[in-house]
Structure 1
Amino acid sequence: MTDGTDEIELKLAIDGVFSLPDLTDDAVVSEVRQDESQDLWATYWDTADLRLARHGVTLRRRTGEPGGPRWTLKLPLPAENPDAADGNGILARREIEMKGRADRVPARAADLVTAYARTERLIEIAQLRTRRQIWSLLGPDGHPVAVLDDDDVSVMEHGRRISRFRELELESHGMDDRNLQRIGGLLRSAGAVDAEPIPKVVRALGPAATAPADAIAPEIGPDQPAGAAVRAALTEAMERIVRHDAGMRMGNAESLHQARVGTRRLRSHLRVFGPLLDARWAAALDSELRGLARQLGEVRDLDVLIERLASVAMDLRPAIDPLLNDLARRGNAARDNLLERLRDERYAALLERLVAAAAAPRLLGAATQPAGSVLPPLFDAAWKRLAKHAGRLTATSPDADYHELRIRAKRARYAADAIGPALGESRREGADGIRRHLTSLQTLLGELQDAATSREEILTTAAQQTNNGPFNLAAGITLEREAQRAATARQGVPDSWRELRRPKHRRWVKA
């Protein structure tokens, strides 16, 4: 994510007597300064069924802070982010502030919560009044390393208080988790108690705000119905798209990549689990996903190509810049087209269908059979399609044939990913093992495909730069480098495939 700032904080509750202890030490906190207290009024917005809150997302407009009223959107950090919460009581979110009228959600905020709200309207759902005392924890250089808020929170309804609670928020301004926890220990010794790391409004709204977000991944196992594994796989892929939608809108390359992975996995699952699904239902859903997958792929492929060429030809700039500039222009145009699609009401409707599909896929009778007997043959089918194509390849086969092998290897890997967790321990380990070998093969084939794509782009631009001597010299050098990388990747494919196709890696399928 690129907008806003990351908010990392430790939350504690106060249920009885509490007095602020000495929080200073020689190394990290040299002084604790009490700042001016605040009287904050916040109106929170969500859907009627609390879709934002159930995802850990909050959207509010608050008054009483320096700088005047403002809207604040807080999004949970994706699990891939190194600052994401890891179950240690710390709440990690991306905080995005914006101005706007009191009676209307800013367009920017509405856009960023599309994947959570989808087709439901955002409405006012709670009003909180917070009387806040503030202490800045200053480091040896006199700058804040953390801020401690003591919040007396009143839940308001029609102008009167209906409930009340008190909590401490210790927000990092550069302090690491270890020291946050150390300060938290001092606060606990003074009377504070552990609290669930959830936003204030979620605590105020109660159990309805902590209910499962969308589809619920069911219990899976070899003796469970195979249909449960289908639901679990579809749920994971759908949630990956939802979780990364906002970051994708903010221009984050990793979020775009993860949303593309989620879309690819969904389409792969519809194919792999085809014998367990209603064919017309699966085909219709795949058809809707195809256009989204194409646009995600166009942006992502250009991002990867730009990054690759900027590295391969770093020492050839600015001579090689006409190529990089053209790719950047096309990347921006592709990103604009993608954003237009994401802001179309049909995309929100598609997300609704994906949530419904994960919760209740249209299963056939075979899906009621035990996963341990039904699922391994589905991987075997994906494997046979891969092996058949691999058997036709030679050292001189065109790049397109190697790219097709990569596609089939990726599909087999996704199949192992989806099926393995539903098997017994030994078979699960076998599925994980072959997944790792498939990943290795896919990496080599990806390097080969990236080099081929790079060569095509270089030659296309060179044809338009016939009178640009410095560019053509740089292009020739880059082509040679890409040819060397492609040759190295090709040479590695036979050994990788030879290891992958050893029968021991597929014993789990027949066990």
Structure 2
Amino acid sequence: MTREIELKLDLTPSAAEALEGSTILGGKPERIPQRSVYFDTSDHALSMNGFSLRIRRSGRKRTQTIKADRAFPAGLFVRSEWERTVRNDRPVLDDTTPVPTVLGVGLEELAPVFEVRIARSVWKVKHDDALIELVLDRGEATTDDRISPICEIELELKSGTLSALFSLARHIDSVAPVRLGVQTKAERGYRLIGPAICSFKAEAVRLSKAMTAGQAFQHIVQNCIRQFRLNEAMLLTHRDVEALHQARVALRRLRSSFSIFKPLLAGAEEAKLDNSLRRLATKLGDARNLDVLLERARPGLLHDHLEAARDKIYSGVIGELASPRPRSLMLDLAEWLSSGDWRIRLDTCEDRDQPAREFAIAALERLRRKLRKHGRDLAAKNDAARHQIRKDAKKLRYAATFFVSLFERKHEPQRYEAFLIALEKFQDLLGSLNDLATAPSVLERLGLADLDDAAVLLAGHKKGALLKAASDAYDALSDTHSFWR
């Protein structure tokens, strides 16, 4: 078993050509054509358990590789690997690998599920006193009837510091735009097998009870970055409403994690990162506001104007995502997460090193007290105050979903489900009230407030009924048992 540390970067074919034509890489690369066959059971038991199994042919040599994915900062792939030479495209599995334990009686059911064909170029690069292997892969993952193109860079640290990987990535980005990579080749292949996906919801956060609060924070932020990057990639090729919504959700989850783990993060760098995330989230939020209005507007003049306005603002969003700022932000965030000063500060070590479950209990209790306090007399508050309550509810909901895997003792899962249902109902009603409150200003800003259809749209919800329902939902949530106590 070996350990590797890689930084993965995505790029376009034209950017790859620009990189090869630059002076960054030095001499000529080693060219290695590769064909990899990935194996699994019919129900994808290996993948479901976090493993991949491939046999790769390079020249006349065939190598079987089993990889176990682990939770590390987004973009960084630190994995356990089991490798051996094999004679043909038939897996050789024994007790030196984890596969028999994972599959048990399903071992004989292994069969090819997809192929990956790659034209690989390899350079050895010396950068900032580090030796880094730079691999440029261009090719495709294929099934019988579907293809997923691949164009990516893997920077593997052979010697030197982790910061050198990110420094080289930024140097590459200066001549060939690159984005933080969050998908393995195996993931690309598995996505060909299922239905086409236009957006990516947040994946479940799995925290180990042995984790410290600091390790839990790293895992949660990695999860959020991954959700953002997957949806950003979709947005850059398709103007999908749900992809934009999920990208915005990812940024909100990211910013909420900063707030939830604030006791660990008392520095200027995290404040700078949070401000950059907020600016990007605001741009996506402006587009989302128009999506919400369009869902409610009936066909007619107002709908046509809103659609034109949305097309314009989506162009602005795509332009922003295509600019260097988001690319740099994700690299900065990944580097800070993996090697930033927050990990070693003496003044925060007590909070950072405490068990994740203890930190989660204190954080959830604090957030619930805040929501209870602010949510009282909901109907008597103004729109701005209710918007703040809505943000409090979102933060509590995100914290609950971040920490749920730490609460699997007797009755805790059932209490979590009941708590989340009550919280989501309250949050949804606050969201409807917020949509009603923001619609007039959005229409005013677009110069559409005087259209006849605008009055119909604004009258589409009864505010009094929503306030009553939200107040009842608050009372129900207040009476719901905490799952962490």
Which range, TM-score by smaller chain? 0.5 to 0.7
Q: Distance in 2 between matches of 1:102 and 1:290?
A: 31
**Aligned partner (choices 350, 355, 372) of residue 357 of structure 2:** 372
Q: Distance in 1 between matches of 2:286 and 2:15?
A: 37
Q: Distance in 2 between matches of 1:419 and 1:454?
A: 34
Q: Does 1:291 align with 2:279?
A: yes
Point out the more displaced range, 403-412 or 421-430: 421-430
Does the Cα contact within 8 Å between 1:274 and 1:282 map onto a contact in 2? no
- What is the 5 A alignment of 1:353-364? 353-360=332-339, 362-363=342-343, 364=348
Counterpart for residue 405 of structure 2: 421
**Aligned partner (choices 292, 300, 313) of residue 334 of structure 1:** 313
**Aligned partner (choices 222, 228, 242) of residue 229 of structure 2:** 242
Q: Distance in 1 between matches of 2:17 and 2:454?
A: 56
Q: Distance in 1 between matches of 2:355 and 2:15?
A: 55
Structure 1 gaps of 5+ residues are: 1-47, 60-70, 72-99, 107-118, 131-152, 168-190, 466-470
What is the one-letter code of the residue matched to 1:237?
C
Q: Relative to 1, partners in 2 of residues 1:222 and 1:383: Cα closer, same or farther, differing over 3 Å? A: same
**Aligned partner (choices 457, 476, 481) of residue 505 of structure 1:** 481
Q: Distance in 2 between matches of 1:487 and 1:219?
A: 41
Q: Distance in 2 between matches of 1:360 and 1:102?
A: 28
Q: Does 1:438 align with 2:423?
A: yes
Counterpart for residue 111 of structure 2: 194
- What is the 5 A alignment of 1:443-482? 443-457=428-442, 465=450, 471-472=451-452, 474-480=453-459, 482=460
Q: Which has the larger radius of gyration?
A: 1
What is the one-letter code of the residue matched to 1:423?
F
Q: Does 1:308 align with 2:284?
A: no
Counterpart for residue 147 of structure 2: none
Q: Relative to 1, partners in 2 of residues 1:410 and 1:463: Cα closer, same or farther, differing over 3 Å? A: closer
Q: Distance in 2 between matches of 1:273 and 1:129?
A: 44
Does the Cα contact within 8 Å between 2:205 and 2:405 map onto a contact in 1? no
Cα deviation digits, residues 401-442 of structure 1 (max 9, x gap): 222221111111111111222334344553443233211111
CA positional deviation for 1:329: 3.3
Cα deviation digits, residues 339-380 of structure 1 (max 9, x gap): 222222232111112222443562431221112222211111
- Percentage of identical aligned residues: 24
**1:501 partner SS:** helix
**1:51 partner SS:** strand
CA positional deviation for 1:301: 1.7
Does the Cα contact within 8 Å between 2:207 and 2:403 map onto a contact in 1? no
Q: Relative to 1, partners in 2 of residues 1:218 and 1:275: Cα closer, same or farther, differing over 3 Å? A: same
**2:211 partner SS:** coil
Counterpart for residue 8 of structure 2: 51
Does the Cα contact within 8 Å between 2:182 and 2:229 map onto a contact in 1? no
What is the one-letter code of the residue matched to 1:244?
N
Does the Cα contact within 8 Å between 1:126 and 1:201 map onto a contact in 2? no
CA positional deviation for 1:456: 4.2
Counterpart for residue 492 of structure 1: 469
Cα deviation digits, residues 369-392 of structure 1 (max 9, x gap): 112222211111111221121124
Counterpart for residue 368 of structure 2: 383
Q: Distance in 1 between matches of 2:16 and 2:154?
A: 23
CA RMSD of aligned residues (A): 4.5
**1:221 partner SS:** coil
Q: Relative to 1, partners in 2 of residues 1:431 and 1:371: Cα closer, same or farther, differing over 3 Å? A: farther
Alignment size in residue pairs:
339
Q: Distance in 2 between matches of 1:233 and 1:192?
A: 35
- TM-score, L = length of structure 2: 0.59
Does the Cα contact within 8 Å between 1:372 and 1:424 map onto a contact in 2? no
Q: Distance in 2 between matches of 1:457 and 1:58?
A: 36
Counterpart for residue 31 of structure 1: none
**Aligned partner (choices 311, 325, 335) of residue 304 of structure 2:** 325
Q: Distance in 2 between matches of 1:351 and 1:293?
A: 13
**Aligned partner (choices 364, 367, 386) of residue 402 of structure 1:** 386
Q: Does 1:221 align with 2:198?
A: no
What is the one-letter code of the residue matched to 2:273?
L
Q: Relative to 1, partners in 2 of residues 1:125 and 1:483: Cα closer, same or farther, differing over 3 Å? A: farther
Q: Relative to 1, partners in 2 of residues 1:372 and 1:163: Cα closer, same or farther, differing over 3 Å? A: closer
CA positional deviation for 1:286: 0.8
